[in-house]
Structures are given as C-alpha cells and as structure tokens.
Amino acid sequence: MRNPYEVLGLPRTATQAEIKKKYRNLAKDNHPDRHPGDAKAVERFKEINAAYGIVGDAKQRARFDRGEIDSDGRERVHAGFQQGAPRGFSPEGFGFPGQGGPRSRAGAGPIPPGGEGPFDPNASGFGFSFDDLFSPLFGGAREAGGAKRGRGRGPDAATEMEIGFLESVNGATRRVQVDGRSLDVAIPAGIETGQAVRLRGQAQSPSGVGDVLITVRVAPHPTFRREGDDIHMDLPVTLGEALQGAKIAVPTIHGSVTLGIPAGSNSGSTLRLKEQGVRRKGKDAGNQYVHLVVALPEAVDPELTEFVGRWSAAHPYDPRRKLRG
C-alpha cells in the first residue's frame, strides 16, 4: 500500500482529530454503495480503510513514524537481524504478519473513526496463528475456510450491516453469511456508523484469499442518543416530582439505576450519571446526561387548572425575560 498519509492526503504533522475527520469524509465519498459496479471505488475504499488502520490509531501511527512497521502494518526487519530472513519476521515475539486461517469465529476488528486499531479477539496469545507461522517461511499464503495452501492474496469484499444501538455501545456478537458460510462477528463496544469491521481471510476467490470489510450502520434508539462516548436522554417528570424532589428509576445503556431529582427542578435541568456512558477498553468511560422535562397530566385536570390560575394571578413571573437579553 502507498504511504497512508498520501492515501488520506494529509501531512505527517496532522493531528488525530484531523485524520479522523478526513477519513470520515473520504470513506463516505468513496463507499462502494455510492459507486455501484465500480471496481476502482472498491479498491479506493479498501485503501482508505487500510491507511486509517495505520495512522488513525495513535500507537500504530507512532510505530509507523518510527519505521517499526511498513505501510501495510507489517513488522520491518530489525537492525542487526540476519539479512535474508522472511519479510515481516521480528526476533521479538515472532511478529509474523497476518492473522488468517480457518476459524469458526471470524477475527473482527474495527477500522474506526476514533482511535482504536484493528484487533482479532480469536488470535492466539502469541499474536499469530500457526498457519501464519509457517506461510512466510515456505512462501505459502494465508488460508481461510479450506482455501488451498499456496494461493496468493485475493481481493477484499465490502458489504454493510445494520446493528442495534445497544449492540453498538455495549458490543455484541452477530452472525453473518459470507459465501454461503455462517460466521460469528465480534462487534466491539463503541463502534459507530461508518466504521468498518474486518473479517480477516474470509473473502475467497479463484485468485486467492482476502478480507471482508463490513461497514456498520447503527439504528437510532427511541430513548438514547450518543455524543462521543456520552449518552443523552430526556426524562419526563411530574409537576410534583419537579417541585418536591424524588428518587426515580432511570434506564441506562447498562441497566436501570436510581436517580435523585432535586426539589425545585425545572425542564431543561441536566443531571449526570457518572460512567454510565460507553465503556471502551483502554479508555475512560463516558457519562449519561439526563435532561428533565416537566410533563403535565395528559388529561386536563379542572382542579389543577383552577389552582394554577389563582396561583399565577397572585405570583406573576416572566419565564422569557432572558430571550430579550
């Protein structure tokens, strides 16, 4: 692959935020669904995702900038190591490239916008599969689903999948059909719309074995909305609860919790539930923000109407004074 900075059209001095923004725009503009039947668009989409997999993750980017890995994410030969060793071999930890091979559970990893690089939850503790261990030494290619040893790298395949909001924030396992095979895909917690999950070595063709890239669409939720790793929701409260205070059971993406409503609360008041937002490995948990909405009874109550009328006449106030500056 070309230099990932060149692929994304960014200088090496670009910030992570600038890289994330540029990736999102490029992935949207070059998505295969926008260019049906255009093989070049598919290749461009794959190249953009691969580039972001290198520089979109701060740790991977630092390793690339130091020359420890190449533009495909493969280990470079360390200084002083014997020349002629197979490309990608590292004397530290047997750093063989690739994690292909037949698995009952497909290795899945996000190519975010957002900072976490691809991962394979089914890789061995040493970071490689035994198929990958021998293929660089003997010139073989990665195997998947019974693919014949010795086949070369084949084209990747791209598709889409819609997942539920709670699946996206908490993580889940979904089963998909690829070339007539059922594969379990690990959905990492915190994945967002437009982010891709990679199934390594699961795209098979006569020319060889490639990866399957699944672009995720997250369905909206009737209660929750997401901003970064924070979750927001509107909570209706009665007039009495707002005036007198109360303890209320409130839903979160992790389950129900009890929230104290301070006496004298008003519509628009916001309360925070600490660390009840998105929880991603290696990152601080987000919060949930509860926005209070004072709700009157659905049926008009004559007694309440009469009382409020008398109270308003005796206690006039202007709730819109701030709108006039």
Based on the domain organization, do 178 and 310 belong to the same domain?
Answer: no
Do residues 179 and 316 share a domain?
no
Q: Which range marks the domain in which residue 248 is found?
A: 225-324
Q: Is the pTM of this model over 0.85?
A: no
Distances (CA, A) of 124 to 98, 103, 183: 12, 12, 18
Tell me, yes or no, whether 254 lies in a domain: yes
In a domain, 281, yes or no: yes
One domain for residues 138 and 262: no
Domain boundary pick from 188, 218, 248: 218
Q: Does residue 147 sit within a domain?
A: no
What are 29's two structure tokens?
A: 């503009």
CB atoms within 10 A of CB 220: 10
The answer on 165 and 99 residing in a single domain is: yes
Same domain, 156 and 94: yes
Looking at residue 75, its pLDDT comes to: 75
Whether residue 246 lies inside any domain: the answer is yes
> In CATH, what number is assigned to the domain containing residue 281?
2.60.260.20
Both 229 and 214 in one domain: the answer is no
Identify the three-state secondary structure at position 29: helix
Identify whether residues 177 and 281 lie together within a single domain. Answer: no
**Sign of the torsion angle spanned by Cα atoms 290, 293, 294, 297:** negative
Residue ranges of the chain with per-residue pLDDT less than 50: 78-109, 112-150
Partnered with residue 317 across adjacent β-strands are none
Q: Which of 50, 47, 15, 54 is nearest to 30 (CA)?
A: 47
Pair of tokens at residue 194:
């437009």
pLDDT of residue 109: 47
Q: Is the domain of 82 the same as that of 163? A: yes
Residue with tokens 């908490």: 170
Look at phi and psi of residue 226 and say left if phi exceeds 0, alpha if psi is from -120 to 50, else beta. Answer: beta
Residue 172 maps to which CATH number? 1.10.287.110
Check whether residue 208 and residue 271 sit in a common domain: no
Does 128 lie in the same domain as 12?
A: yes
Same domain, yes or no: 96 and 243 = no
Q: Structurally, how many domains does the chain consist of?
A: 2
Task: Using the 3D structure, point to which of 201, 218, 235 is the last residue of a domain.
Answer: 218
Domain end, chosen from 203, 218, 233, is at 218
Same domain as 118, residue 72? yes
Virtual torsion, Cα 221, 158, 146, 70, nearest 10 deg: -110
Give the model confidence (pLDDT) of 111-153 as tens digits.
Answer: 544 434 443 433 333 333 333 433 333 333 334 444 444 456 8
CA atoms within 13 A on the CB side of 108: 24
Per-residue pLDDT, 325: 66
